[in-house]
Every structure is written in structure tokens, then in C-alpha cells.
Amino acid sequence: MNFRKHWKHFLLYSAALFWASCGGDSESTSVTGGENNETPPDSIVKPDDIDGIKIDTLYGIRPVYDADSGAVSSSDACESSSVAAQSNSSNAAESSSSEVAQSSSSKITGYGTYKLARDTSITCEVSETQTFIMGSGRQSPDEIMDNLENNETLSVEELNKLEDKLEFESLGYGTLYGVPSVSTGIKPSKYSCSNDSTYSASIVKGRDGILYTNKEYEEKFPTPVPSPLCQKTGFMSNGATEELGVNKERFVGDMIVGYNTDRQALVDSAKAASGEALSEAQKQCLDRDITTISAYSGPIASKQICDGDTTANPRYQAKLDSNKAYIQKQINNCLKEPE
């Protein structure tokens, strides 16, 4: 029995030395100790482990021990594993190189095939793409005002929607929101065709599977001109100029100033019409208690130009009329005889 036990230990020591040699010539560690022959850590095989559960070896490799035969398998598994790993790595590298080469030489997928408008027997595919800035979807007050002033394609209804954005959605653009974030997209930049020609996306446009030159596209799909064609101009600040991040010189006036001018004119008119009949309490009411409507919003265009004819912008005029009606109601309350 003692001989069998020592025989097991001898086989295990031999296996441990063999597995340790797989780590390479640059690394060598004694089975019985470290560099200074210190007590081996738990990860190193110890004789007492042979009849127990834990049989760990150097480098985390566990030998196969047969309790019946007393044999420890120590064939060329280490070498064969290394060769297999190198073979797999080489195959993976070759596969990767093949995929890269195939990708670089193939057409860009996802855009479909186009036919030239002038000769539908010629087919074209997207061969190059480019990244472009899409923007945040949130226009600055300056951008909206530019669109209103220089409009050539939008209908009156579409201009009204832009005015809504300018008046109600532009508040706090400069101070509350700061610089808007932007996103990017990818679009075709070059087309390669079956007649060995290439076309830059700057001179052609694709639509419904057909590739047109810019001239052909404009003739095929002309941009409709709205009737009437209108622009909005003469912008008035409206109580929120500092928050918009817009140059003050862009504004031709201030709505608050206009509201107060109308208030004073209506009060003076009421005093003149009543003359000496005004009581002291009525005079004080007219001088102290008359206010204007709220003027806190985004800019408002004061003029509208439609097909060359310039009029007051309906939105601007409606605000002036609303302010006057609000002031007049207060004046009437001041002039009421006390009950």
C-alpha cells in the first residue's frame, strides 16, 4: 500500500514537471517551491491532494488522473493544443482578410440599382457615400426669420406654421438651450454605372429607381410656386430679445413700445372726450390702472409682401387690435359712474 501511494506521488510529480515546461523557457517554477524555495501556493500540486478533490497544477492546467491504474495522462496534449490554437488563429486571420477585401471591392448595398433616365439600358449603383450633418431639428430664431424673409416655395399656411415656431418655440433659445446638438447621416456621393461611367451626387439625383441629371430632374419634377407667394419681414422684438441670441439690430421696433404708445393715445383720447366731466377718481384710474396685454413672446413680423404688394402682417395687426381692445375695456371701466 505504501509503495502504491509513493508511486502515485512520483507519477504526479512527473506530470507536474511536464505541464510546467509547457509555459515556455522564459518561465520556470519549482514544484516544491518558488524562486526562493518558499512554500508553494495552493495552485501548485501537492502530494496530499492526490487522494482528495483538488488537483490543480501550474498555469491552471489539470492533469487527468486514473485512480484505478495510477496513471496520469501526459501525452502531447500541450503541444497539440498550442498547434491547434495557432492554426485557428491563422484561419481566423485569413478569413478576416478575405472579408475586408470582399467588402472593399463590392458595391455599397442598401441603395438598390438605378437606371439612367436618358438610357434605361444603363444601370448604376452607389459606389461611395459621405457623412453629412442632419442638424438637431430645432431652428434658431435667425434661421426662421431668414426663411420667412426669403421664402420662394412655402404657401401662406406653411409660413403661418413658421411664425408659430418663431413666436412660441424660440423663447429661451440662446440662454436656456445653448447650442443645439446635431446628428449625422450617410448619403450617396458617387454612382458607378455599367457603361464604366461615374457620376458625382452633386450633378445627379435618384428618384424611384431612375438617375436624373439636375436639369432633367427639374424638368421632370418642377417645384410648384405657391400662389400667392408671400414673405414676412420687418421683425419686431416682443419682450424676449435677450433670450433669443439674436442681434438687436435685426429688429425694426419693439412690440412693448407700440403697445404703450397705443395705450397712451387711447387714454388721452378718453380724457379729451370727457373733458371737465372727469372726476378725480376717474383721472387717477386712467393714469395709473390701464395696462397693456402681455408682450412676452418671440419676434413677430410687422409686414407681409404677397406677389409684390406690401401690407401689415395679419398676425402683427391682430396683436395690435387685441391690445387696443384690452385697453379700451379698462378705460370704459374707469369712466363708469360709481353705483
Euclidean distance between CA atoms 254 and 168, whole angstroms:
17
- Of the chain, the percentage scoring pLDDT greater than 90 comes to 46
Tens of pLDDT along 36-46? 444 444 444 44
What average pLDDT does the segment 164-187 reach? 66
Pick the more confident residue, 54 or 289.
Answer: 289
Question: Would residue 98 count as lying in a domain?
Answer: no
Pick the more confident residue, 251 or 28.
Answer: 251
Q: Which contiguous run of DSSP H or E holds residue 284?
A: helix 280-288
Number of structural domains (the chain) is 3
Residue 127 and residue 248 share a domain = no
C-alpha cell at 199: 457620376
Residue 127 and residue 149 share a domain = no
Question: Would residue 92 count as lying in a domain?
Answer: no
Residue 115 and residue 23 share a domain = no
One-letter amino acid at 216 equals E
User: If you average pLDDT over every residue of the chain, what do you get?
Assistant: 74
Residue 172 and residue 54 share a domain = no
pLDDT at 337: 72
What average pLDDT does the segment 165-190 reach? 68
Q: Judging by beta carbons within 10 Å of its beta carbon (0-12, 13-18, 19+), is residue 102 exposed, middle or buried? A: exposed
Using pLDDT thresholds of 50, 70 and 90, give the confidence band for residue 47: very low
Asked if 215 and 271 touch (Cβ cutoff 8 Å), the reply is no
Instruction: Check whether 72 has a pLDDT greater than 90.
Output: no
pLDDT at 181: 55
* DSSP class of 150: T
Pick the more confident residue, 104 or 25.
Answer: 25
Instruction: Check whether 221 has a pLDDT greater than 50.
Output: yes
Pick the more confident residue, 78 or 216.
Answer: 216
Euclidean distance between CA atoms 65 and 111, whole angstroms:
61
pLDDT at 106: 47
Residue 152 and residue 68 share a domain = no
Domain end (from 74, 94, 115)? 74
Question: Would residue 187 count as lying in a domain?
Answer: yes
pLDDT at 58: 39
Instruction: Check whether 204 has a pLDDT greater than 90.
Output: yes
Pick the more confident residue, 289 or 59.
Answer: 289
Residue 187 and residue 116 share a domain = yes
- By residue range, what is the domain housing residue 196? 107-136+181-225
Residue 299 and residue 233 share a domain = yes
Residue 186 and residue 60 share a domain = no
Residue 246 and residue 202 share a domain = no
Question: Would residue 94 count as lying in a domain?
Answer: no
Residue 161 and residue 55 share a domain = no
Beta bridge partners of 213: 204
Question: Would residue 100 count as lying in a domain?
Answer: no
What average pLDDT does the segment 129-140 reach? 73
pLDDT at 237: 87
pLDDT at 156: 93
Instruction: Check whether 278 has a pLDDT greater than 70.
Output: yes
Using pLDDT thresholds of 50, 70 and 90, give the confidence band for residue 122: very high
What average pLDDT does the segment 268-273 reach? 94
Question: Would residue 79 count as lying in a domain?
Answer: no
Pick the more confident residue, 333 or 68.
Answer: 333
Most confident of 42-46, 59-63, 218-222: 218-222
What average pLDDT does the segment 186-207 reach? 94
The HSE-up count of residue 50 (CA atoms within 13 Å, CB side) is: 21
Question: Would residue 266 count as lying in a domain?
Answer: yes
What average pLDDT does the segment 263-281 reach? 93
Residue 146 and residue 112 share a domain = no
Instruction: Check whether 180 has a pLDDT greater than 70.
Output: no
Question: Would residue 331 count as lying in a domain?
Answer: yes
What average pLDDT does the segment 196-207 reach? 94
Euclidean distance between CA atoms 4 and 1, whole angstroms:
5
Residue 218 and residue 125 share a domain = yes
Beta strands in the chain (DSSP E): 64-66, 71-73, 113-116, 123-135, 183-193, 198-200, 204-207, 210-213, 230-237, 253-254, 300-306, 309-312
